[in-house]
Structure 1
């Protein structure tokens, strides 16, 4: 049987009877590195407010006490968080888990109609809501058959509100005031229960493109952290601590949304487990991001490809002080190797690497070899504990260099999709996750992502991977972003069409000479024709638009462009 595994044969120990806060705040895993007690765990990027471990634990405990006393939250409840990034975002999660309740997250920029299906699915007993999302949340909740009466405002330090709802700080103060007269009983897992008790439900387009909630047990979340740390330590923990890419003393900037698996697992929890300080930004603004890197001497960045594009093409990046950077980790969506190389030139002192993962695997599946300095087309080796198969369309297993759908098993799998048994059965099959991605493994055991199977364009009898064309188009200096989708064609069935965002310089030239638009269009079409197989030509043309629609992780929302694509 053709199966692929990690080149690291040591399988680490995964505790199966700890909740996420018990693992992170109370327990010391053998592979975990020791941090300086005076080193902050989290810092508010806007106010500079730092929180050390003792204060983090105290706030978590007091909030749990307040939630238990005021709202009687228990292991039978589900609590939602609909908020931008906030220094107390993780406190809300860990306090809820102390009580045994599960958490779900929703994008705070959603409209009420977009939030409503998730809220209906999850039936929350309480919602933590950022003031910016409150109007949409209240409108969504008003459409529920059974109303969710309990809302708590998740506000930043020093923020005042007159919205008539309790704040997270109010509940922390309540929990603190009740010490000596009332104290909650912390939820404890039974042996092995961490494999079934859901910690967090994350929104995901999944392997089918249909928005749904993915159920992730405590042990799966914990396992992926340990798997990633094991990889970073090298074979038999042979990499000296001073040479680790994620280590105590490093400082990470958490600007990726914490309501997404990449932001919460990697950009926050894994960094904290590694002994690092995490500076939390409320939302992404590139110029402010550059200033934060300089101010806090950030060493580790976690990026999605659209952010990488800004580093490579935004004029402010060339003037920014990026000298503190040591690791730039990219994930969440396909990466242009050209942009990775450009980033490597911008920060030659740093490692520029990419990994591959998905929500259904609770985060990261692969990481690059530890001797790699700049990301390549391959996305790395499997983390220890994972086993993968590549399944051809006829159901047979592919060997080295042969492509097919990626199937994965391991200790960090999600358990199911909420209220969608059909898609759950199709995706979670006999202990394996069907990824929906077309891939192959090379002779060195590294994974290569070809494209989403459902995104392939069928030109005659040939398959065209949109990501391949996009990687070529984005190298053009006139283009800052692009997306390729199929359009109907009488002879070929489908042909590729590119939607592209023009650079500021290109737009200025077009304003002076409108014919420049057609010259740029012709250059793009000709470049693909000259450098790719004939059937990959942009017969559907090139359309210029203002912005490419993307999800929170930076994944292209092709379906949004496909829906409007006409001949």
Structure 2
């Protein structure tokens, strides 16, 4: 078992003490300054590769499989059984991407094909500028293809343009699309498929997306948003052909068609090797986070951040002892792709950690052999836990891990992770801090909290995001001297387990998604107060994504309850809602967590 040791400062000789399982004694008179994850060095995190280069081209020591086995799929499409794997396949394409290491692979081949077609057709982000620091000479992207040898000799950083938006639910080619964009040095922004046209339009405008890759289920919304920002139809690519051809008179290209086209063309792009340290600042994703006020903010996430988070979790997974039957992350196993890839957790943990650690196939359902369960985004209530145990009796019998890690978009997912050696997690625990993360718990008076004392969680780690895009005020509030202010009130106990007590930031969570106060304020004109209940409910249903709908009904109070320091008393509101449900005054139970 690994040691979990806080940073401590002795004030007086210890008078009482407790001993952890690993033999480390913590004194009651030790003043806690910072909390750390497992002791020992974090595995090397490369900062000179992009995320796709890390996943497809490199062999990190933390990866349990050193040699890729033929025929081992990475992804399985549930509807058709179609498999996409890393196993060697024959290919006539002669490119540096495919020649390296083996004769080729389905994943790498499809990634190259899509990247090549995009580059050939659209000259990827043709108005982007690459800044050459030594001469400060701007070179536009078309020149880069011809002068790449000259440019690479300089210290170059791509400007944060060239963004591709992926809009839709999970798809077997979702990772291929992400990695193809990264091959080209561009940035990915993933949008919630439940968005309205207005919400998608806001994300497209904020990120200046050049191409929109769309699932058929989201097509009508995508078209409306694209028209609103003037994005041409030829810049809209479909994952699959539309089931109803009458829904569009325009023949959009599909991802599969582009892959085929790209594999038949000569290579038209040059994938640049990053300078040492460049991966820490080069943008990989613009992921949206609601925050507490105003519209959602685009979080700037570097290539280094998800790589670091994958290695943090792999480091923990590698520590699990025991026979294969009880190992939770098994080489060649199957991870169910339920969590959405557009969400930061699905994007990093499912799409990248699962594939990195065991090369498992990601499949969209089949619960017959579930042996470990994790929940996230919002606490899993005891009632829901019991329901889940009934639905999955086999997993429950196997003492499945029903648990929830702590994390957020601004930390590029995981801050804490359930103990890998535990069969059943500590009730209410979000696990222990992952390797490389340092945490402080700050009390309202600004002093640092000790064990079991509540306070605001702020964290520092290699996976922290860089900033908010074009929002200096919010950046200064959340990203302070390398620390991320999470907005969570937590306690940390003597075994370094994190327990989330409440939200300090004033927001409501619905099914794990954040609905800020600004999203709740739907009255266009206070004079229309007489029509409030119906008009507000209808307006929210028409204008906002479904997890912001007011399904619990609308109730008015004289004032929002607050304590003397101004903090919202959410418990009072929850109790009030529970009373209204008992009285039958709410149409259905609200799904929000306040």
TM-score, L = length of structure 2: 0.70
Q: Per the alignment, do residues 341 and 139 of structure 1 end up closer, same or farther by CA in structure 2, a change over 3 Å counting?
A: closer
Q: Paired residue for 2:253, among 147, 166, 174?
A: 166
Aligned with 1:200: secondary structure? strand
Q: Give the Cα separation in 2 of the matches to 1:351 and 1:484.
A: 35
**Deviation at 1:50?**
0.6
**Deviation at 1:132?**
2.5
Q: Give the Cα separation in 1 of the matches to 2:496 and 2:551.
A: 30
Q: Per the alignment, do residues 548 and 490 of structure 1 end up closer, same or farther by CA in structure 2, a change over 3 Å counting?
A: closer
Q: Tell me whether 1:137 sits opposite 2:222 in the alignment.
A: yes
**Deviation at 1:484?**
12
**RMSD across aligned C-alpha pairs, in angstroms?**
3.0
Aligned with 2:358: secondary structure? coil
Q: Per the alignment, do residues 158 and 121 of structure 1 end up closer, same or farther by CA in structure 2, a change over 3 Å counting?
A: closer
Q: How does 1:2-17 map to 2 (within 5 A)?
A: 2-17=33-48
Q: Give the Cα separation in 1 of the matches to 2:43 and 2:325.
A: 21
Unaligned runs of 5+ in 2: 1-31, 87-104, 126-157, 509-549, 563-568
Q: Tell me whether 1:422 sits opposite 2:473 in the alignment.
A: yes
Aligned with 1:143: secondary structure? helix
Q: Paired residue for 1:448, among 480, 499, 503?
A: 499
Query: Which digits, 9 at most, give the CA deviation of each residue in 1:166-195, with x for residues without a partner?
Result: 11122112111113xx43211322111111
Q: Tell me whether 1:325 sits opposite 2:405 in the alignment.
A: no
Q: Paired residue for 2:308, among 195, 215, 223?
A: 223
Q: Give the Cα separation in 1 of the matches to 2:177 and 2:244.
A: 19
Query: Which digits, 9 at most, give the CA deviation of each residue in 1:342-370, with x for residues without a partner?
Result: 64573221332321111111111111222
Q: Paired residue for 2:573, among 466, 480, 496?
A: 496
Q: Tell me whether 1:365 sits opposite 2:365 in the alignment.
A: no
Q: Tell me whether 1:256 sits opposite 2:333 in the alignment.
A: no
Partner of 1:472: none
Number of aligned pairs? 451
Q: Paired residue for 2:588, among 513, 521, 546?
A: 546
Q: How does 1:55-66 map to 2 (within 5 A)?
A: 55-66=106-117
**Deviation at 1:85?**
1.2
Q: Tell me whether 1:269 sits opposite 2:352 in the alignment.
A: yes
Q: How does 1:129-528 map to 2 (within 5 A)?
A: 129-144=214-229, 147=231, 150-156=234-240, 163-179=250-266, 182-206=267-291, 210-234=295-319, 243-281=326-364, 289=365, 292-293=366-367, 322=368, 324-337=369-382, 339-340=384-385, 343-344=388-389, 346=393, 347-349=396-398, 350-375=400-425, 376-455=427-506, 488=557, 495-497=572-574, 521=582
Q: Give the Cα separation in 2 of the matches to 1:110 and 1:37.
A: 40
Q: Per the alignment, do residues 157 and 252 of structure 1 end up closer, same or farther by CA in structure 2, a change over 3 Å counting?
A: farther
Q: Give the Cα separation in 1 of the matches to 2:475 and 2:323.
A: 42
Q: Paired residue for 1:105, among 169, 177, 190?
A: 190
Tell me if the contact between 2:233 and 2:252 (Cα under 8 Å) persists in the aligned partners.
no
Aligned with 1:114: secondary structure? helix
Q: Per the alignment, do residues 148 and 207 of structure 1 end up closer, same or farther by CA in structure 2, a change over 3 Å counting?
A: farther
Q: Per the alignment, do residues 500 and 372 of structure 1 end up closer, same or farther by CA in structure 2, a change over 3 Å counting?
A: farther
Partner of 1:80: 165
Q: Per the alignment, do residues 411 and 490 of structure 1 end up closer, same or farther by CA in structure 2, a change over 3 Å counting?
A: closer
Aligned with 2:198: secondary structure? helix
Aligned with 2:209: secondary structure? coil
Q: Per the alignment, do residues 196 and 492 of structure 1 end up closer, same or farther by CA in structure 2, a change over 3 Å counting?
A: closer
Q: Tell me whether 1:37 sits opposite 2:70 in the alignment.
A: yes
Q: Give the Cα separation in 2 of the matches to 1:421 and 1:22.
A: 31
Aligned with 1:544: secondary structure? coil
Q: Paired residue for 2:119, among 48, 56, 68?
A: 68
Tell me if the contact between 1:233 and 1:244 (Cα under 8 Å) persists in the aligned partners.
no
Q: Give the Cα separation in 1 of the matches to 2:437 and 2:470.
A: 27
Q: Give the Cα separation in 2 of the matches to 1:94 and 1:183.
A: 17
Tell me if the contact between 2:407 and 2:414 (Cα under 8 Å) persists in the aligned partners.
yes
Look at both structures and tell me which one has the larger radius of gyration over its CA atoms: 2
Q: Per the alignment, do residues 177 and 203 of structure 1 end up closer, same or farther by CA in structure 2, a change over 3 Å counting?
A: same
